[in-house]
Amino acid sequence: MAIAAKGPRTSDVVAQQLRGRSTDVKGIIFQAALLFALLLSLLILLVLIADVARGGLGVFQERGGEFLRGRLTVVSPTTAGVGQGIVGSLLLLIFVVLMAFPVGVAAAIYLEEYASDTRFNRFIDVNIRNLAGVPSIVYGLLGLVIFVQVLAPLTGGKTVMAGGLTLAILVLPIVIITSMEALRAVPDSIREAGFGVGATRWEVIRSHVLPAAAPGILTGTVLSISRAIGETAPLLVVGATTGLLATGGRGFFESFREGYTALPVVVFRWTSLPNEDFRALTSAAIIVLLIMTLSANAIAIILRNRYERKW
Amino acid sequence: METVTTDSPRNVHIDMGARKPNARPSGEPVFEVADLAVYYGPFRAIRDVSMSIAQHQITALIGPSGCGKTTMLRCFNRMNDLIETARVEGSVRYHGADLYDKRVDPVEVRRRIGMVFQKPNPFPKSIYDNIAFGPKVAGFKGDLDDVVEESLQKAALWDEVRNRLKESAMGLSGGQQQRLCIARCIAVRPDVILMDEPCSALDPIATGRIEDLMQNLKDEFTIVVVTHNMQQAARVSDMTAFFTAEVNEEQDRRTGVLVEYDKTEQMFTNPSDERTENYVTGRFG
Ligand SMILES: Nc1ncnc2c1ncn2[C@@H]1O[C@H](COP(=O)(O)OP(=O)(O)OP(=O)(O)O)[C@@H](O)[C@H]1O
Ligand SMILES: [Mg+2]
């Protein structure tokens, strides 16, 4: 019609409307704030790493493998090393994994898949969350009483076993919570599908829910392990050795009932020494500790990508 | 319970809440539902449902969205047990046995009464594993490959997936996923198949195939199907039940009731309730 020809062309009007507001000031400010926060935390991390590297890399150049094998000593910086610390940390980790993973996942499955939504169960749920926030030194005191003193006949006192059990109960709430969240993220429709073809609850959990939740559970577990690697305070309380340590010569299983030290404990001990020569050693030990933690995180990421599923 | 056969005089006046003339389908009943009510917490989703479902027939449940069709369907295989807030009152008998008896194991119930859900829900596994799971947990000892092929063929999916059985079922299209779920249900050879809008995600060709499939399955299985598609209900079902949601004064929400249940032909050509007529002719819902 003729009227249509007089006004602006429809396509122009629509194109105009689609262009939107030219500047979104609030949005830009918000984005800048986010970016700033990100850069700030990255910067702090970089400064930290640079500082540690400056102090510690020299040690690796001078002594290399010898430092990695060396014993914990506070008197002779030329022979001191992190060997015992690495071994101790690894033994502790084995314990943490063996204790916290099965118990934590089992507890999460119970709470998430079996327990009904009663007041009591919600109370338990809330308290597990609270436990995850309890300062680690408190777990140290708990470990001292239970694993070092009461269960001394079993653990042998201030041993790897006592330290490992203490760290295990320290990370247990984290393992439970992350596993519960992973289980909760599995859509109910998958459970219904399983029940719908006549599977029992356990069959549904084993065949469908657990595999679907595995990436989340594994990530959470590995992250809690990397937390355990770095814990110092509870280990000091339950008696990780900070001085000269005589170990070795006995079998793998005996080593669980011997005295031990751990990397963060080594770092802690050396930091408190007045001798300048130990500064560099401390930095070097921190580098080893960082590498261990980062490897644990890398494993978490690899596992997650490996098992990642979509639904 | 009062049941009136179709050849008795039809009750034409509208009488909210009173018992409706419920036709008794010919043939042996698989399910007999009496005075059924389902609650989600304090909310009553359906009430006063009484109907019986005959063996080797297709029974369609129709009605507007939210009137409780899915809720009703899930009562037939104790699926509502899985919803913590859900509570079932009244009785559902399966071949004469009380489904909600304390001694009944819901797992045994679901092995005999399979279900295809409203939203396709394949397991995040391979196509093959999706189908093999049911027979496996049921202790099937024969050749699983045969079961997988046969089930997929019956569900009109075989030709599309025969070369990708080991691939993830999540890579299938929505309609293919729904047919996979049908195949998965058939694979355990249940006595009854409950289908909740099995064709809502399908194109007319696949829908036609599923409808043919239902006709073929009728000799072996008893089928209860929820559908929003009037033509489909008219085409495939022997009996049709029309539900609607009535305002529930105390809770200011709507509670589903069974308005009319009769032979499909009767329901679509000469319904006795005005609400049924309005619904099937598209004037309501
Ligand atoms: N798990 C649940 N918890 C609480 N209320 C529910 C639940 N499932 C369904 N309902 C309610 O029960 C009523 C009936 O729902 P239902 O899913 O049975 O309807 P429907 O007839 O299948 O609808 P549609 O055609 O949209 O699928 C609705 O009011 C719904 O909100
Ligand atoms: Mg529904």
Q: Are B196 and B118 in contact (CB under 8 A)?
A: yes
- Looking at residue A250, what is its pLDDT? 58
- Looking at residue A303, what is its pLDDT? 78
Residues from chain A contacting residue B112 (CB–CB below 8 Å): 198
- Give residue B236's domain range: 3-280
Residue A53 CB-half CA count within 13 A:
7
Q: What is the mean pLDDT of residues A86-102?
A: 88
Protein residue with its CA nearest to atom 16 in ligand 1 = B68
Optimal mutation site among B113, B137, B196, B224, interface A, most CBs of chain A within 10 A: B137
Is B20's pLDDT higher than 50? no
DSSP state of A273: -
Q: What is the mean pLDDT of residues B52-70?
A: 91
CATH, residue B157: 3.40.50.300
- Looking at residue A47, what is its pLDDT? 93
Query: To the nearest whole angstrom, how far is the Cα of A176 from the nearest Cα of chain B?
Result: 23
Query: To the nearest whole angstrom, how far is the Cα of B274 from the nearest Cα of chain A?
Result: 36
Q: With respect to residue B22, please indicate whether it lies within any of the assigned structural domains.
A: yes
Least confident residue range of A35-44, A123-132, A262-271, B63-72? A262-271
Is B285's pLDDT higher than 90? no
B121 Cα to the center of ligand 2, angstroms = 14
CA distance B218 to B212: 10
Beta bridge partners of residue B226, listed in sequence order: B61, B196
B46 Cα to the center of ligand 1, angstroms = 10
Q: With respect to residue B232, please indicate whether it lies within any of the assigned structural domains.
A: yes
Protein residue with its CA nearest to atom 5 in ligand 1 = B40
- Looking at residue A242, what is its pLDDT? 65
Which run of H or of E encompasses A229? helix A210-230
Q: Are A155 and A257 in contact (CB under 8 A)?
A: yes
- Number of domains forming the structure of chain B: 1
Closest CA to B214 of B176, B242, B185, B177: B185
Q: Are A275 and A77 in contact (CB under 8 A)?
A: yes
Task: State which of B49, B69, B200 you would mutate to test the pocket of ligand 1, scoring each by most atoms of that ligand within 8 A of its C-beta.
Answer: B69
Pairing of strands B97-98, B43-54: unpaired
Identify which has the larger pLDDT, A123 or A305: A123
A248 pLDDT band (50/70/90 cuts)?
A: low
- Looking at residue B6, what is its pLDDT? 40
- Looking at residue B7, what is its pLDDT? 41
Q: Cβ(B42) to ligand 1 under 6 A?
A: no
- Give the start-to-end residue ranges of the domains of chain A: 63-310
pLDDT digits (tens, 9 = 90+) for B85-99: 999 999 999 998 999
Q: What is the mean pLDDT of residues B194-217?
A: 86
CA distance A32 to B92: 63
| Residue-wise DSSP of B143-210 | -HHHHHHHHHHHTT-HHHHTT-TTSBGGGS-HHHHHHHHHHHHHHT--SEEEEESTTTT--HHHHHHH
Ion ligand 2: residue ranges with CB closer than 5 A: B 70, 118
Q: Which ligand is nearest to the CA of B42?
A: 1
Identify which has the larger pLDDT, B200 or A50: A50
Q: Cβ(B70) to ligand 1 under 6 A?
A: yes
B141 pLDDT band (50/70/90 cuts)?
A: confident
* ipTM exceeds 0.90: no
A239 pLDDT band (50/70/90 cuts)?
A: confident
- Interchain CB distance below 8 Å, A200 and B107: yes
Optimal mutation site among B73, B83, B121, interface A, most CBs of chain A within 10 A: B121
- Looking at residue A189, what is its pLDDT? 92
- Interchain CB distance below 8 Å, B111 and A198: yes
**B119: contact with A, CB 8 A cutoff:** yes
Pairing of strands B86-94, B97-98: antiparallel
- Interchain CB distance below 8 Å, B121 and A192: yes
pLDDT digits (tens, 9 = 90+) for B253-267: 788 889 889 888 888
CA distance B205 to B203: 6
Q: With respect to residue B285, please indicate whether it lies within any of the assigned structural domains.
A: no
Q: What is the mean pLDDT of residues B210-218?
A: 86
Task: State which of B62, B70, B247 you would mutate to test the pocket of ligand 1, scoring each by most atoms of that ligand within 8 A of its C-beta.
Answer: B70
Give, in words, the CATH class of A63-310.
mainly alpha
- Looking at residue B14, what is its pLDDT? 36
Protein residue with its CA nearest to atom 22 in ligand 1 = B70
Query: To the nearest whole angstrom, how far is the Cα of A117 from the nearest Cα of chain B?
Result: 8
CA distance A179 to A39: 31
Beta bridge partners of residue B58, listed in sequence order: B223
| Residue-wise DSSP of A24-93 | -HHHHHHHHHHHHHHHHHHHHHHHHHHHHHHHHHHHHHHHTHHHHHPBP-SS-TTTB-SHHHHHHHHHHH
Angle formed at CA B103 by CA B98 and CA B109, multiple of 5 degrees:
60
